[in-house]
Each structure stands twice: as structure tokens, then as C-alpha cells.
Amino acid sequence: MIEKEVVLKPEEAFNEEEVLAVIQKKLGLKSTQDFRISKRSIDARSKEVKVRIKVDISQNEPFPARINYKIEDLPEVHNARQSAIIIGAGPAGLFSALRLIELGWKPIILERGKDVRSRRRDLADINKKHIVNSESNYCFGEGGAGTYSDGKLYTRSKKRGDIYRILEILVAHGAKEDIMIDAHPHIGTNKLPKIIQNIRETILAHGGEVHFDTKVTGFKVEKHELKSVSTASGHEFKADAFILATGHSARDIFYLLHENKILIEAKPFALGVRVEHPQQIIDKIQYKCEERGPYLPASSYSLVHQTYFENKQRGVFSFCMCPGGFIVPAATESGEIVVNGMSPSRRDSRFANSGIVAAIELEDMVDFEKFGSLKGLELQKSIEQNACKIGGNNQTAPAQRLVDFTQGKISRDLPDTSYQPGLFSARMDEVLPPFITERLKTAFKAYGEKMKGYFTNDAVVVGVESRTSSPVRIPRDKETLEHTETKRLFPCGEGAGYAGGIVSAAMDGERCAEKVVEIYQNKK
Ligand SMILES: Cc1cc2nc3c(=O)[nH]c(=O)nc-3n(C[C@H](O)[C@H](O)[C@H](O)COP(=O)(O)OP(=O)(O)OC[C@H]3O[C@@H](n4cnc5c(N)ncnc54)[C@H](O)[C@@H]3O)c2cc1C
């Protein structure tokens, strides 16, 4: 197999019917069967946007299968001798269940929220009626926080092997094979639910269990060993091991661990706002043209700037950028405002939004010191509640035009937005503490230098982007991944502090499942 790169115009590269013929001609090959695309990325560095495509050219040998994961190869675990309870059906929980099945164990998933379809009604309620269901929302329910999201599938993790495995499993469950070749793959909020449902069907068909509306509210620990968990409806579940994958928003789980004297620690996280520009402004900056035309995808950006406030240096960075997307209300309780972003697979909304957040270190939490390991969580909660109180105790989010924000001026009016519950004009420096607003102001001006046209009053900042990562870590042994003090408990995924995003949470789920089996196989 020989690898070659071809550089195409967007109208050639994104024309599904023509692209193979164009590559064949450029490479002087006899047939479109002689090569296969292995990577695709957009290069917008020069004036003319190009698409770089890598292809593998066959030297008369067959192409290796792109998807090696085969659902039908999974064993049957209905009557497996050993089982593990998985708390939470987010990417970490679902991928740990699939891996347990592969290894011959029976996974039993307990999920507080509803199945992925029923979740939709609760999302409509929060968007249209401002009603927050604390068990079913943008963070809770089948598929976890990642289901109604952009479905971006990139991670900063360098373990490519594992990433490809996660992508393969997603393709085996219905994702397009394009995610295997795109430099920045994404699935889209309209496609993810069906893939999540297919994963659940695989788990059930092979003998796993999935219990919805089943919230874990109790841990029974004896002699430093987790024996069982109990649920809100009074059921007790026992197993050989417990994978705790409840995500960064399950505050009741953090409180419960704390009350049960199961060790948790405060952890640095990041908090800020979501900024929304007309997509056309971002396209104009990134693609250096008035209109991006019918072939180029909505453009994105990634920004970081180091800021100084009271002699402390903290990074301010873009987070979960959603080109052609929507800002969504991601609160998990009434009385709080939390925003996040998502986009459909076509990324065709008129707006580009991104979290812009400042890093918060433990030393920034001094006012919350009395809460000990829960200090970050309480800081995060107080800001979300303040945002809600200022706005009148519903899901209308505080907002300010971007330049007005940096000048401390209330905006007389606000631009159009994708945020369905609506915006109200507020001073963000009354919503957020100074150690965050001052840093954001500095960073936005610096971003304007890097991307000419970004720093404009046509953009709006919306508060608050607070659920970037967990403010709590559940400590685990580096090797065994088991809780440092409580045996048979495996803290997993984003909530425990070991992942940030769909792919890394899924990878951590797999790793926890492997460790469970390695340590407790044949041990009762
Ligand atoms: C709107 C939005 C958009 C996002 N977009 C992207 C993106 O494009 N790309 C990306 O990589 N990441 C994105 N993220 C982040 C991503 O979703 C998370 O990093 C990922 O879902 C973390 O996976 P997890 O399995 O660790 O936890 P979660 O996905 O948070 O799953 C935890 C699960 O545990 C359940 N649970 C909680 N408490 C209990 C309990 N007591 N009993 C039983 N079950 C419980 C919850 O209901 C939930 O289903 C987005 C997040 C949001 C909210």
C-alpha cells in the first residue's frame, strides 16, 4: 500500500458523487477501486481554501477492513457468572458495558434518566416552558451529556489506537464511516440518539441489563469495600464490582460520597460564558471570503490566551466550539442557569457559538474553603444560581454584546440568538466574579487581534458556561483504577475527573471495564 496526498478545491472534495473520479484522474490511476481515502482535512491557511486528502493506493493487495469491531462476535452474557453494576449510561457507562460483555461479564446499567427518545420531551419543556426536570435534561438520561450535543469526536488524548476503536464501535452502531477519515469528526445531535439506541440494543441482546428511571441514592460500604448500591425506589443492587460513571453534573452523587466518607477531592475546572457570532463572521475570518458557498462546512476556531489578574496567571480558552449550532440550556435543577452548545450534523444554523472559559485553580476558591472537597462545586453552583436570580428565576439567560461586556456597558438591545429560552440584557460582571470577568475581557480583546472581526458588538456573550469539567475528583489508583480507599468501586469518566468529552469518556469506560475483569475475575 502506498500513501499519497492530493490537494483539492472544496467543490471537488465535498462533491460526494465526483470526488473519487477527480482523485483518480489527479493520481493517474485506472480505477476508483485502486485507492481509498484515509484522511481528510481543510487547509485554510492561504488565501484559497484547500482540502488535503490522503489516500492509500493498493499495490494489488486488498484494503484492510476499516471496521474490525463486529457486534455479532460479542459473547452471550445472560448467565455470566460475574457481573458489574454501572451507574450512569453516558459514553463512559455504555462503553464500559460493551467492553464487559466482550470480556464475558454481565453489565447492569442503572440510569436515573429516561431512554433517549423520551428525553426529547423534557428537552422541549426546558426550551419552551422553562421547566427543568432534574432527572431528565441535557445532562441526564440515556447517552449522558453527549447525546444532544455537537457530537464532536476529537480528544486531546494521544492514544490513537484507542480512539479508532471508539470510532469503529460508533460506526458499527450506525455512525457514518466519514468519522474514521475526518481530521475533526463529528456526528451531530440529530444522528446521535439512534446510535445510542443501537448501543443499548446491543447490550440488551447480549444479556446485559439497562434500568432507566433508576437513580442511585445509597452506597453500602463495609470494611472499606462497596457491597451494594440502593436506588430511589428502594431496590438494592449487588455485584462483583461497581463502575461509577455519573458525569460532572451529578451533584447529589458527590454529596452522597462525601456523607458516606468515601474520599473525594476538590479539582480545578474552568468557567465563563458562551459567545455567539453570526456564522458568516467566523466564515469570513477563517475562509477569507464573503460567503463560504455551498461546499465548505461552517468554520470553527480554537483560541487560547494567557491572562494575569492579581498577579496570577490563568489561561482563557475556547471550549466545545459549535459551528452552525445552537446554544442550549443545560441546567440540571430549576433555580440555575447553565449554557452549553450543540449542532446538527449539517451544522447549518446561522450561528457559531463557543464556550470561552477561564481556568479556576484551587487557590481561586478561597471564599468557599469551608466546603472542603466540595468547594469548587459550591462555587460553580453559586454562580449558576446568581445568573438565574438576576434574570428572574427562569431559563432566560443573562447576555451582553461582546464589546459592551469588555467596556462594562449594559447593552441597549441584544442581537438575534439561537438560544431558545431567550436572553435578557445584563451586566456579565454582576453575574460572574471579577477574577473571571477581568480575564475574559482581556482574552476577548486578544482574540480580536488574532482573528480580525471577532471582537465585535454583533457577537453576544451568554452566561454561564459552568459545566466544562468536574469540580470534584474521585481518587483512584493509577494502575488498578480502583478507588484509593474503597474496594470494588471504580470511579470512571468525566464526573470522576478522568475524561473530558465523548471519546475520552468512552475510552475511560473501556479501561475501567478491563481493570474490573483483571482484578475481580473469579474472585467473589
Ligand atoms: C450540551 C452538551 C454538548 C456537548 N458537546 C460535546 C461534543 O460535541 N463533544 C464532546 O466530546 N463532548 C461534548 N460534551 C461533553 C460530553 O458530553 C461529556 O464529556 C461526556 O458525556 C462525559 O461522559 P460520561 O459518561 O463521563 O458522563 P455523562 O455523559 O455526564 O453521563 C453520566 C450519566 O450518569 C447518569 N447519572 C447521574 N447521576 C446518577 C445517579 N445518581 N444514578 C444513576 N444515574 C446517574 C446521568 O443521567 C448521565 O446519563 C457536551 C456536553 C453537553 C452537556
Question: What is the residue with the minimal CA distance to atom 35 of ligand 1?
Answer: 88
Write the pLDDT tens digit of every residue in 399-411.
Answer: 999 999 999 999 9
The predicted structure's pLDDT at residue 188 = 78
Give CA–CA dist 471/451, Å, rounded.
31
Q: How far is CA 313 from CA 5, 302, 360, 443, in A?
A: 42, 20, 10, 12
- Mean pLDDT, residues 473-493 taken together: 98
Ligand 1 neighbour 149 (Cβ under 6 A): yes
What was the pLDDT predicted at 159?
61
* CB distance 240 to 227 below 8 Å: no
> Is 496:470 a contact under the CB 8 Å cutoff?
yes
State if residue 253 touches ligand 1 by the CB under 6 angstroms criterion.
Answer: yes
Q: For residue 488, what pLDDT is reported?
A: 98
What does the pLDDT read at residue 300? 95
Q: Report residue 113: phi and psi, to 5°.
A: -90, -170
Q: Looking at ligand 1, which residue's alpha carbon is closest to its atom 15?
A: 501
Q: Is the pLDDT of residue 435 over 70?
A: yes
Read off the pTM.
0.96
Average pLDDT across the chain, whole number: 95
pLDDT value, residue 140: 98
| Per-residue model confidence (pLDDT) at position 161 | 58
pLDDT surpasses 70 at 310? yes
Residue where the block lists cell 481530521: 183
| Ligand 1 neighbour 505 (Cβ under 6 A) | yes
Query: Which atom of ligand 1 is nearest the CA belonging to 153?
Result: 11
Residue 5 φ then ψ, to 5°: -115, 135
Mean pLDDT within 494-504: 95
69 pLDDT above the threshold of 90 = yes
For residue range 330-352, list pLDDT tens digits in order: 999 999 999 999 988 888 999 99
How large is the average pLDDT for residues 122-132? 97
Low-confidence winner among 55-69, 78-92, 214-228 (lowest mean pLDDT): 55-69
CA angle 229, 234, 236 (to 5 degrees): 35
Q: Is the pLDDT score of 463 beyond 90?
A: yes
What pLDDT is recorded for position 32? 94
516-524 long-range CB contacts below 8 Å, 24 or more apart?
A: 516/84, 516/100, 516/105, 516/240, 516/241, 516/243, 516/490, 517/100, 517/103, 517/104, 517/105, 519/241, 519/480, 519/482, 520/82, 520/240, 520/241, 520/488, 521/82, 522/82, 523/240, 524/240
Residue with cell 428511571: 213
136-158 confidence digits (pLDDT tens): 999 999 999 978 877 788 776 66
What pLDDT score does 450 carry? Answer: 97
What is the number of the ligand 1 atom nearest to the C-alpha of 91? Answer: 25
**Radius of gyration of the CA atoms of the chain, in A:** 24
Residues 170 and 98 sit within 8 Å (Cβ to Cβ)? no
pLDDT score at 345 = 81
* Cβ of residue 85 lying under 6 Å from some atom of ligand 1: no
328 lines ligand 1 (CB under 6 A): yes
Q: Which helix (H) or strand (E) holds 443?
A: helix 434-450
Beta carbons within 10 angstroms of residue 137's beta carbon: 26
Ligand 1 pocket check for 145: Cβ under 6 Å: yes
Q: What is the mean pLDDT of residues 174-178?
A: 92
Average pLDDT estimate for 86-102: 98
Ligand 1 near 491 CB (within 6 A): no
- What pLDDT is attached to residue 245? 98
| Structure confidence at residue 46 (pLDDT) | 85
Query: Which residue shows C-alpha cell 454584546?
Result: 401
Cell of 430: 454582576
Share of the chain above pLDDT 90, in %: 89
